[in-house]
Structure 1
Protein backbone atom coordinates (compact mmCIF):
# COMPACT_ATOMS: atom_id res chain seq x y z
CA UNK A 1 0.00 0.00 0.00
CA UNK A 2 1.38 3.40 -1.02
CA UNK A 3 0.36 5.74 1.78
CA UNK A 4 1.87 8.62 -0.20
CA UNK A 5 -0.28 8.00 -3.27
CA UNK A 6 -1.30 11.24 -4.94
CA UNK A 7 -4.40 11.84 -7.01
CA UNK A 8 -5.16 15.11 -8.75
CA UNK A 9 -8.67 14.45 -10.10
CA UNK A 10 -11.77 12.31 -9.57
CA UNK A 11 -14.75 11.62 -11.84
CA UNK A 12 -17.70 9.57 -10.61
CA UNK A 13 -20.23 7.82 -12.86
CA UNK A 14 -23.49 6.17 -11.90
CA UNK A 15 -26.92 6.58 -10.34
CA UNK A 16 -28.43 7.73 -7.03
CA UNK A 17 -25.86 5.82 -4.96
CA UNK A 18 -23.09 7.97 -6.43
CA UNK A 19 -25.20 11.14 -6.57
CA UNK A 20 -25.39 10.89 -2.78
CA UNK A 21 -28.96 10.00 -1.84
CA UNK A 22 -29.95 10.07 1.05
CA UNK A 23 -27.10 11.98 2.72
CA UNK A 24 -29.07 15.22 3.02
CA UNK A 25 -27.54 18.63 3.64
CA UNK A 26 -29.43 21.43 5.44
CA UNK A 27 -30.40 23.03 2.11
CA UNK A 28 -32.10 19.81 0.98
CA UNK A 29 -29.40 18.79 -1.50
CA UNK A 30 -27.42 15.55 -1.22
CA UNK A 31 -23.76 15.11 -0.35
CA UNK A 32 -22.79 11.43 -0.37
CA UNK A 33 -19.63 9.36 -0.44
CA UNK A 34 -18.28 10.88 -3.67
CA UNK A 35 -18.33 14.42 -2.27
CA UNK A 36 -16.78 13.18 0.98
CA UNK A 37 -14.03 11.37 -0.91
CA UNK A 38 -13.37 14.41 -3.12
CA UNK A 39 -13.10 16.65 -0.05
CA UNK A 40 -10.52 14.38 1.55
CA UNK A 41 -8.49 14.07 -1.65
CA UNK A 42 -8.64 17.83 -2.19
CA UNK A 43 -7.25 18.39 1.31
CA UNK A 44 -4.11 16.50 0.22
CA UNK A 45 -3.65 18.01 -3.23
CA UNK A 46 -3.88 21.71 -4.13
CA UNK A 47 -5.90 22.27 -7.30
CA UNK A 48 -7.66 18.92 -7.00
CA UNK A 49 -10.50 18.61 -9.53
CA UNK A 50 -13.77 16.72 -9.22
CA UNK A 51 -16.78 15.91 -11.40
CA UNK A 52 -19.84 13.89 -10.41
CA UNK A 53 -21.87 12.83 -13.45
CA UNK A 54 -24.23 10.50 -11.57
CA UNK A 55 -27.99 10.99 -11.80
CA UNK A 56 -30.60 9.20 -9.71
CA UNK A 57 -32.74 6.52 -11.33
CA UNK A 58 -30.41 5.82 -14.25
CA UNK A 59 -30.27 2.34 -15.73
CA UNK A 60 -27.02 0.91 -17.05
CA UNK A 61 -27.75 1.78 -20.69
CA UNK A 62 -28.47 5.38 -19.74
CA UNK A 63 -25.27 5.55 -17.71
CA UNK A 64 -23.24 4.24 -20.64
CA UNK A 65 -24.93 6.43 -23.25
CA UNK A 66 -25.01 9.64 -21.21
CA UNK A 67 -22.04 9.57 -18.87
CA UNK A 68 -19.26 7.23 -19.94
CA UNK A 69 -17.86 9.07 -22.96
CA UNK A 70 -18.04 12.36 -21.07
CA UNK A 71 -16.10 10.84 -18.18
CA UNK A 72 -13.52 9.22 -20.45
CA UNK A 73 -12.83 12.54 -22.16
CA UNK A 74 -11.95 14.12 -18.82
CA UNK A 75 -8.83 11.90 -18.47
CA UNK A 76 -9.03 11.88 -14.67
CA UNK A 77 -6.63 10.15 -12.31
CA UNK A 78 -9.47 8.21 -10.67
CA UNK A 79 -12.83 7.21 -12.16
CA UNK A 80 -15.48 5.35 -10.21
CA UNK A 81 -18.23 3.41 -11.97
CA UNK A 82 -21.27 1.98 -10.20
CA UNK A 83 -24.25 0.92 -12.31
CA UNK A 84 -26.61 -1.89 -13.12
CA UNK A 85 -28.21 -2.29 -9.71
CA UNK A 86 -31.32 -0.33 -10.74
CA UNK A 87 -31.74 -2.81 -13.59
CA UNK A 88 -31.54 -5.81 -11.25
CA UNK A 89 -34.29 -4.37 -9.03
CA UNK A 90 -36.81 -4.27 -11.89
CA UNK A 91 -39.36 -7.11 -12.27
CA UNK A 92 -37.87 -8.00 -15.66
CA UNK A 93 -34.13 -7.76 -16.14
CA UNK A 94 -31.96 -8.89 -19.06
CA UNK A 95 -28.76 -9.75 -17.21
CA UNK A 96 -26.87 -10.47 -20.42
CA UNK A 97 -27.65 -6.94 -21.60
CA UNK A 98 -26.69 -5.43 -18.24
CA UNK A 99 -23.35 -7.22 -18.18
CA UNK A 100 -22.67 -6.39 -21.82
CA UNK A 101 -23.26 -2.68 -21.31
CA UNK A 102 -21.21 -2.67 -18.13
CA UNK A 103 -18.34 -4.27 -19.99
CA UNK A 104 -18.68 -1.62 -22.69
CA UNK A 105 -18.37 1.07 -20.03
CA UNK A 106 -15.28 -0.50 -18.46
CA UNK A 107 -13.61 -0.91 -21.86
CA UNK A 108 -14.02 2.81 -22.49
CA UNK A 109 -13.14 4.07 -19.03
CA UNK A 110 -10.19 1.87 -18.03
CA UNK A 111 -7.77 3.25 -20.67
CA UNK A 112 -8.86 6.84 -19.97
CA UNK A 113 -7.74 7.07 -16.33
CA UNK A 114 -4.93 6.06 -14.02
CA UNK A 115 -7.23 4.01 -11.78
CA UNK A 116 -10.73 2.73 -12.43
CA UNK A 117 -12.71 1.79 -9.31
CA UNK A 118 -15.67 -0.60 -9.46
CA UNK A 119 -17.87 -1.65 -6.55
CA UNK A 120 -19.95 -4.51 -5.28
CA UNK A 121 -22.83 -2.35 -4.04
CA UNK A 122 -24.19 -2.74 -0.51
CA UNK A 123 -27.50 -4.50 0.07
CA UNK A 124 -29.90 -3.89 2.94
CA UNK A 125 -30.83 -6.94 4.97
CA UNK A 126 -34.52 -7.71 4.61
CA UNK A 127 -37.09 -9.76 2.69
CA UNK A 128 -37.34 -7.42 -0.31
CA UNK A 129 -33.67 -7.58 -1.16
CA UNK A 130 -33.62 -11.34 -0.73
CA UNK A 131 -35.71 -11.63 -3.88
CA UNK A 132 -33.11 -9.78 -5.93
CA UNK A 133 -29.91 -11.18 -4.39
CA UNK A 134 -29.30 -13.83 -7.11
CA UNK A 135 -29.25 -11.11 -9.79
CA UNK A 136 -27.10 -8.84 -7.65
CA UNK A 137 -24.59 -11.58 -7.00
CA UNK A 138 -24.47 -12.48 -10.70
CA UNK A 139 -23.71 -8.82 -11.42
CA UNK A 140 -21.02 -8.68 -8.75
CA UNK A 141 -19.31 -11.83 -10.03
CA UNK A 142 -19.17 -10.24 -13.46
CA UNK A 143 -17.73 -7.05 -11.95
CA UNK A 144 -14.95 -9.10 -10.36
CA UNK A 145 -14.19 -10.60 -13.74
CA UNK A 146 -14.13 -7.21 -15.44
CA UNK A 147 -11.79 -5.80 -12.81
CA UNK A 148 -9.38 -8.68 -13.22
CA UNK A 149 -9.26 -8.23 -16.98
CA UNK A 150 -8.95 -4.44 -17.00
CA UNK A 151 -6.82 -3.69 -13.95
CA UNK A 152 -9.62 -2.05 -11.98
CA UNK A 153 -10.04 -1.99 -8.22
CA UNK A 154 -13.13 -3.59 -6.70
CA UNK A 155 -14.44 -2.24 -3.40
CA UNK A 156 -16.53 -4.97 -1.78
CA UNK A 157 -19.31 -3.10 0.00
CA UNK A 158 -21.72 -6.01 -0.42
CA UNK A 159 -19.53 -8.24 1.71
CA UNK A 160 -19.42 -5.77 4.62
CA UNK A 161 -21.82 -6.95 7.33
CA UNK A 162 -22.30 -3.46 8.73
CA UNK A 163 -23.61 -2.06 5.45
CA UNK A 164 -26.42 -4.61 5.51
CA UNK A 165 -27.57 -3.31 8.89
CA UNK A 166 -30.98 -1.64 8.51
CA UNK A 167 -29.76 1.29 10.61
CA UNK A 168 -27.40 2.23 7.77
CA UNK A 169 -30.35 2.80 5.42
CA UNK A 170 -32.71 5.72 4.99
CA UNK A 171 -36.49 5.50 5.42
CA UNK A 172 -36.79 4.77 1.66
CA UNK A 173 -34.87 1.48 2.23
CA UNK A 174 -32.93 2.07 -1.02
CA UNK A 175 -30.28 4.61 -0.04
CA UNK A 176 -27.65 4.84 2.65
CA UNK A 177 -27.73 7.28 5.55
CA UNK A 178 -24.98 9.84 6.11
CA UNK A 179 -23.06 7.30 8.20
CA UNK A 180 -23.35 4.72 5.44
CA UNK A 181 -21.96 7.16 2.88
CA UNK A 182 -19.13 8.10 5.25
CA UNK A 183 -18.12 4.46 5.50
CA UNK A 184 -18.23 4.00 1.73
CA UNK A 185 -15.92 7.00 1.30
CA UNK A 186 -13.52 5.48 3.82
CA UNK A 187 -13.63 2.12 2.03
CA UNK A 188 -12.69 3.69 -1.31
CA UNK A 189 -10.05 5.87 0.37
CA UNK A 190 -8.36 2.78 1.74
CA UNK A 191 -8.72 0.89 -1.56
CA UNK A 192 -6.81 3.73 -3.25
CA UNK A 193 -3.89 3.02 -0.95
CA UNK A 194 -4.38 5.86 1.51
CA UNK A 195 -3.94 5.66 5.27
CA UNK A 196 -7.00 4.44 7.13
CA UNK A 197 -8.85 6.89 9.33
CA UNK A 198 -10.95 4.18 10.99
CA UNK A 199 -12.38 0.71 10.49
CA UNK A 200 -15.22 1.25 8.02
CA UNK A 201 -16.42 -2.32 8.55
CA UNK A 202 -16.80 -2.00 12.33
CA UNK A 203 -20.24 -3.35 13.29
CA UNK A 204 -22.78 -1.20 15.08
CA UNK A 205 -23.59 -1.83 18.74
CA UNK A 206 -26.56 -4.10 19.47
CA UNK A 207 -29.92 -2.42 19.11
CA UNK A 208 -33.27 -2.88 20.80
CA UNK A 209 -35.85 -4.14 18.32
CA UNK A 210 -38.64 -1.58 17.81
CA UNK A 211 -42.12 -2.47 18.96
CA UNK A 212 -45.00 -3.49 16.73
CA UNK A 213 -46.52 0.01 16.64
CA UNK A 214 -43.22 1.63 15.67
CA UNK A 215 -42.62 -0.92 12.91
CA UNK A 216 -46.10 -0.46 11.45
CA UNK A 217 -45.77 3.34 11.57
CA UNK A 218 -42.46 3.11 9.76
CA UNK A 219 -43.90 0.71 7.18
CA UNK A 220 -46.83 3.04 6.48
CA UNK A 221 -44.54 6.03 6.09
CA UNK A 222 -42.31 4.05 3.73
CA UNK A 223 -45.29 2.99 1.61
CA UNK A 224 -46.78 6.49 1.45
CA UNK A 225 -43.59 8.47 0.79
CA UNK A 226 -41.56 6.03 -1.27
CA UNK A 227 -43.18 2.77 -2.37
CA UNK A 228 -46.34 4.25 -3.94
CA UNK A 229 -44.45 6.97 -5.87
CA UNK A 230 -41.93 4.35 -7.05
CA UNK A 231 -44.71 2.08 -8.34
CA UNK A 232 -46.32 5.07 -10.05
CA UNK A 233 -43.10 5.86 -11.91
CA UNK A 234 -42.72 2.25 -13.01
CA UNK A 235 -46.30 2.11 -14.32
CA UNK A 236 -45.93 5.34 -16.27
CA UNK A 237 -42.40 4.73 -17.57
CA UNK A 238 -40.94 7.67 -15.65
CA UNK A 239 -37.74 7.94 -13.64
CA UNK A 240 -36.75 10.08 -10.65
CA UNK A 241 -33.85 11.33 -12.76
CA UNK A 242 -35.88 12.50 -15.77
CA UNK A 243 -34.73 15.98 -16.78
CA UNK A 244 -32.16 16.15 -13.99
CA UNK A 245 -28.63 17.35 -14.72
CA UNK A 246 -25.53 15.92 -12.99
CA UNK A 247 -24.57 17.65 -9.74
CA UNK A 248 -21.04 18.46 -11.00
CA UNK A 249 -21.03 18.15 -14.78
CA UNK A 250 -17.55 19.60 -15.31
CA UNK A 251 -14.15 18.59 -13.99
CA UNK A 252 -13.34 21.69 -11.96
CA UNK A 253 -11.28 22.53 -8.87
CA UNK A 254 -13.06 21.36 -5.76
CA UNK A 255 -13.55 24.00 -3.11
CA UNK A 256 -13.15 22.08 0.09
CA UNK A 257 -15.92 22.57 2.62
CA UNK A 258 -16.27 21.25 6.17
CA UNK A 259 -17.27 17.60 6.15
CA UNK A 260 -19.56 17.85 9.17
Structure 2
Protein backbone atom coordinates (compact mmCIF):
# COMPACT_ATOMS: atom_id res chain seq x y z
CA UNK A 1 0.00 0.00 0.00
CA UNK A 2 2.85 2.42 0.77
CA UNK A 3 4.44 2.10 -2.64
CA UNK A 4 1.05 2.72 -4.25
CA UNK A 5 0.19 5.65 -1.98
CA UNK A 6 0.35 8.19 -4.79
CA UNK A 7 -2.82 6.84 -6.35
CA UNK A 8 -4.87 7.58 -3.20
CA UNK A 9 -4.75 11.40 -3.42
CA UNK A 10 -5.15 11.19 -7.20
CA UNK A 11 -8.22 8.99 -6.79
CA UNK A 12 -9.61 11.43 -4.21
CA UNK A 13 -9.12 14.30 -6.64
CA UNK A 14 -10.92 12.39 -9.41
CA UNK A 15 -13.79 11.56 -7.05
CA UNK A 16 -13.97 15.18 -5.97
CA UNK A 17 -14.40 16.19 -9.60
CA UNK A 18 -17.19 13.60 -9.94
CA UNK A 19 -18.86 14.97 -6.81
CA UNK A 20 -18.78 18.47 -8.27
CA UNK A 21 -20.28 17.28 -11.55
CA UNK A 22 -23.13 15.35 -9.92
CA UNK A 23 -23.89 18.17 -7.48
CA UNK A 24 -23.94 20.71 -10.31
CA UNK A 25 -26.34 18.50 -12.25
CA UNK A 26 -28.69 18.20 -9.27
CA UNK A 27 -28.67 21.97 -8.78
CA UNK A 28 -29.17 22.69 -12.49
CA UNK A 29 -32.06 20.21 -12.79
CA UNK A 30 -33.81 21.59 -9.74
CA UNK A 31 -33.46 25.19 -10.89
CA UNK A 32 -34.99 24.15 -14.19
CA UNK A 33 -38.05 22.75 -12.41
CA UNK A 34 -38.55 25.58 -9.93
CA UNK A 35 -40.83 27.58 -12.17
CA UNK A 36 -42.91 24.48 -12.89
CA UNK A 37 -43.42 23.50 -9.25
CA UNK A 38 -45.36 26.59 -8.28
CA UNK A 39 -45.85 26.78 -4.49
CA UNK A 40 -43.83 23.58 -4.11
CA UNK A 41 -40.76 25.47 -5.35
CA UNK A 42 -40.13 26.68 -1.79
CA UNK A 43 -39.43 23.07 -0.83
CA UNK A 44 -36.45 23.06 -3.19
CA UNK A 45 -34.98 26.52 -2.68
CA UNK A 46 -33.51 25.99 0.79
CA UNK A 47 -31.97 22.52 0.20
CA UNK A 48 -30.53 23.72 -3.11
CA UNK A 49 -28.77 26.64 -1.45
CA UNK A 50 -27.50 24.34 1.31
CA UNK A 51 -26.39 21.72 -1.22
CA UNK A 52 -24.32 24.28 -3.12
CA UNK A 53 -22.65 25.35 0.14
CA UNK A 54 -22.07 21.73 1.18
CA UNK A 55 -20.51 20.82 -2.18
CA UNK A 56 -18.24 23.86 -1.92
CA UNK A 57 -17.28 22.87 1.64
CA UNK A 58 -16.32 19.36 0.54
CA UNK A 59 -14.19 20.75 -2.27
CA UNK A 60 -12.61 23.47 -0.14
CA UNK A 61 -11.73 21.11 2.66
CA UNK A 62 -10.07 18.53 0.44
CA UNK A 63 -8.38 20.88 -2.01
CA UNK A 64 -6.28 22.19 0.86
CA UNK A 65 -5.30 18.66 1.86
CA UNK A 66 -4.62 17.65 -1.75
CA UNK A 67 -2.09 20.47 -2.08
CA UNK A 68 0.00 18.77 0.62
CA UNK A 69 -1.15 15.15 0.98
CA UNK A 70 1.92 14.05 2.91
CA UNK A 71 4.55 11.47 2.01
CA UNK A 72 4.17 8.27 4.03
CA UNK A 73 6.78 6.51 1.89
CA UNK A 74 9.41 9.04 2.95
CA UNK A 75 8.31 8.75 6.58
CA UNK A 76 8.50 4.96 6.47
CA UNK A 77 11.95 4.99 4.87
CA UNK A 78 13.18 7.50 7.44
CA UNK A 79 11.88 5.21 10.17
CA UNK A 80 13.70 2.26 8.65
CA UNK A 81 16.94 4.26 8.55
CA UNK A 82 16.57 5.08 12.24
CA UNK A 83 15.99 1.42 12.99
CA UNK A 84 18.64 -0.16 10.78
CA UNK A 85 21.34 2.52 10.84
CA UNK A 86 21.06 3.61 14.48
CA UNK A 87 18.92 1.41 16.74
CA UNK A 88 20.21 -2.00 15.66
CA UNK A 89 23.94 -1.07 15.56
CA UNK A 90 23.73 0.81 18.88
CA UNK A 91 22.09 -2.17 20.59
CA UNK A 92 24.70 -4.51 19.13
CA UNK A 93 27.54 -2.27 20.26
CA UNK A 94 26.02 -1.91 23.74
CA UNK A 95 26.28 -5.67 24.15
CA UNK A 96 30.06 -5.42 23.72
CA UNK A 97 30.50 -2.68 26.34
CA UNK A 98 30.38 -4.98 29.36
CA UNK A 99 33.12 -6.36 31.53
CA UNK A 100 32.12 -9.85 30.47
CA UNK A 101 32.58 -9.07 26.80
CA UNK A 102 35.99 -7.39 27.04
CA UNK A 103 38.92 -9.42 28.29
CA UNK A 104 41.65 -6.81 28.70
CA UNK A 105 41.09 -6.76 32.45
CA UNK A 106 41.64 -10.51 32.51
CA UNK A 107 45.34 -9.92 31.74
CA UNK A 108 46.05 -6.42 33.04
CA UNK A 109 45.78 -4.75 36.41
CA UNK A 110 46.48 -1.40 38.01
CA UNK A 111 44.70 1.98 38.31
CA UNK A 112 44.58 2.52 34.54
CA UNK A 113 43.12 -0.92 33.94
CA UNK A 114 40.51 -0.37 36.66
CA UNK A 115 39.61 3.07 35.24
CA UNK A 116 39.19 1.48 31.84
CA UNK A 117 36.74 -1.04 33.25
CA UNK A 118 34.79 1.75 34.98
CA UNK A 119 34.18 3.48 31.63
CA UNK A 120 32.18 0.51 30.35
CA UNK A 121 28.87 0.91 32.27
CA UNK A 122 28.28 4.58 31.22
CA UNK A 123 29.03 3.70 27.60
CA UNK A 124 26.76 0.67 27.84
CA UNK A 125 23.87 2.75 29.28
CA UNK A 126 24.31 5.54 26.73
CA UNK A 127 24.28 3.07 23.85
CA UNK A 128 21.14 1.40 25.22
CA UNK A 129 19.45 4.78 25.60
CA UNK A 130 20.40 5.67 22.03
CA UNK A 131 19.11 2.32 20.74
CA UNK A 132 15.80 2.74 22.59
CA UNK A 133 15.30 6.33 21.43
CA UNK A 134 16.16 5.45 17.83
CA UNK A 135 13.81 2.46 17.91
CA UNK A 136 10.99 4.61 19.27
CA UNK A 137 11.72 7.27 16.64
CA UNK A 138 11.44 4.63 13.94
CA UNK A 139 8.14 3.39 15.37
CA UNK A 140 6.75 6.95 15.58
CA UNK A 141 7.63 7.66 11.95
CA UNK A 142 6.05 4.41 10.80
CA UNK A 143 2.88 5.20 12.76
CA UNK A 144 2.67 8.64 11.13
CA UNK A 145 3.06 7.01 7.72
CA UNK A 146 0.30 4.52 8.50
CA UNK A 147 -1.97 7.35 9.70
CA UNK A 148 -1.61 9.17 6.38
CA UNK A 149 -2.40 6.03 4.39
CA UNK A 150 -5.42 5.30 6.59
CA UNK A 151 -6.65 8.89 6.21
CA UNK A 152 -6.53 8.94 2.41
CA UNK A 153 -8.01 5.47 2.17
CA UNK A 154 -10.95 6.55 4.34
CA UNK A 155 -11.34 9.76 2.32
CA UNK A 156 -11.59 7.69 -0.84
CA UNK A 157 -14.27 5.50 0.72
CA UNK A 158 -16.27 8.54 1.85
CA UNK A 159 -16.08 10.22 -1.55
CA UNK A 160 -16.98 7.01 -3.36
CA UNK A 161 -20.13 6.76 -1.26
CA UNK A 162 -20.99 10.41 -1.82
CA UNK A 163 -20.47 10.09 -5.57
CA UNK A 164 -22.83 7.12 -5.74
CA UNK A 165 -25.52 8.89 -3.73
CA UNK A 166 -25.23 12.08 -5.77
CA UNK A 167 -25.55 10.05 -8.96
CA UNK A 168 -28.78 8.57 -7.60
CA UNK A 169 -29.98 12.02 -6.61
CA UNK A 170 -29.18 13.37 -10.07
CA UNK A 171 -31.32 10.63 -11.59
CA UNK A 172 -34.19 11.61 -9.29
CA UNK A 173 -33.95 15.31 -10.13
CA UNK A 174 -34.32 14.54 -13.84
CA UNK A 175 -38.12 14.83 -13.40
CA UNK A 176 -40.08 17.52 -11.52
CA UNK A 177 -42.09 15.04 -9.46
CA UNK A 178 -39.04 13.45 -7.83
CA UNK A 179 -36.77 16.51 -7.88
CA UNK A 180 -37.46 17.50 -4.23
CA UNK A 181 -36.62 14.00 -3.01
CA UNK A 182 -33.46 13.98 -5.11
CA UNK A 183 -32.35 17.34 -3.76
CA UNK A 184 -32.90 16.23 -0.16
CA UNK A 185 -30.98 13.01 -0.82
CA UNK A 186 -28.07 14.98 -2.27
CA UNK A 187 -28.05 17.42 0.65
CA UNK A 188 -28.17 14.63 3.24
CA UNK A 189 -25.36 12.72 1.52
CA UNK A 190 -23.17 15.82 1.25
CA UNK A 191 -23.77 16.76 4.89
CA UNK A 192 -22.90 13.26 6.08
CA UNK A 193 -19.76 13.25 3.97
CA UNK A 194 -18.66 16.58 5.42
CA UNK A 195 -19.14 15.22 8.94
CA UNK A 196 -17.06 12.16 8.02
CA UNK A 197 -14.30 14.25 6.45
CA UNK A 198 -14.17 16.53 9.49
CA UNK A 199 -13.88 13.51 11.80
CA UNK A 200 -11.10 12.05 9.64
CA UNK A 201 -9.27 15.37 9.60
CA UNK A 202 -9.48 15.67 13.39
CA UNK A 203 -8.21 12.10 13.83
CA UNK A 204 -5.27 12.68 11.49
CA UNK A 205 -4.43 15.99 13.17
CA UNK A 206 -4.44 14.34 16.61
CA UNK A 207 -2.25 11.48 15.38
CA UNK A 208 0.30 13.77 13.75
CA UNK A 209 0.33 16.02 16.82
CA UNK A 210 0.95 12.96 18.99
CA UNK A 211 3.83 12.01 16.69
CA UNK A 212 5.27 15.52 16.97
CA UNK A 213 5.14 15.42 20.78
CA UNK A 214 6.73 11.98 20.74
CA UNK A 215 9.59 13.27 18.60
CA UNK A 216 10.17 16.14 21.02
CA UNK A 217 10.20 13.73 23.96
CA UNK A 218 12.70 11.49 22.18
CA UNK A 219 15.03 14.42 21.66
CA UNK A 220 15.05 15.18 25.38
CA UNK A 221 15.92 11.55 26.09
CA UNK A 222 19.15 12.10 24.12
CA UNK A 223 20.01 15.39 25.81
CA UNK A 224 18.95 14.83 29.40
CA UNK A 225 19.14 12.22 32.12
CA UNK A 226 21.98 10.27 33.75
CA UNK A 227 22.96 8.48 30.53
CA UNK A 228 24.03 11.79 28.94
CA UNK A 229 25.60 14.04 31.59
CA UNK A 230 25.08 17.72 30.76
CA UNK A 231 23.61 16.65 27.44
CA UNK A 232 26.84 15.04 26.25
CA UNK A 233 28.05 11.53 25.57
CA UNK A 234 29.76 10.09 28.66
CA UNK A 235 33.53 10.57 28.74
CA UNK A 236 35.39 7.60 27.29
CA UNK A 237 38.91 8.28 28.56
CA UNK A 238 39.31 9.40 32.16
CA UNK A 239 42.46 11.04 33.49
CA UNK A 240 43.54 7.69 34.92
CA UNK A 241 43.81 6.37 31.36
CA UNK A 242 45.99 9.17 30.05
CA UNK A 243 49.20 7.30 30.95
CA UNK A 244 49.26 3.83 29.45
CA UNK A 245 52.98 3.27 29.89
CA UNK A 246 54.46 0.18 31.44
CA UNK A 247 57.85 1.46 32.52
CA UNK A 248 57.80 5.01 33.84
CA UNK A 249 57.11 3.81 37.37
CA UNK A 250 54.19 6.05 38.27
CA UNK A 251 51.02 4.81 39.94
CA UNK A 252 49.01 4.52 36.73
CA UNK A 253 51.24 1.91 35.16
CA UNK A 254 49.54 -1.02 33.49
CA UNK A 255 50.89 -4.35 34.64
CA UNK A 256 50.21 -7.96 33.81
CA UNK A 257 48.09 -9.91 36.28
CA UNK A 258 49.96 -12.53 38.21
TM above 0.5: no
Compare relative contact order (CA 8 Å, sep 6+) and give the higher one, 1 or 2: 2
Return the structure number with greater helix share: 2
Structure possessing the higher radius of gyration over alpha carbons: 2
More strand by share: 1
Question: What TM bracket, shorter-length normalisation?
Answer: under 0.3
- TM-score, normalised relative to structure 1: 0.18
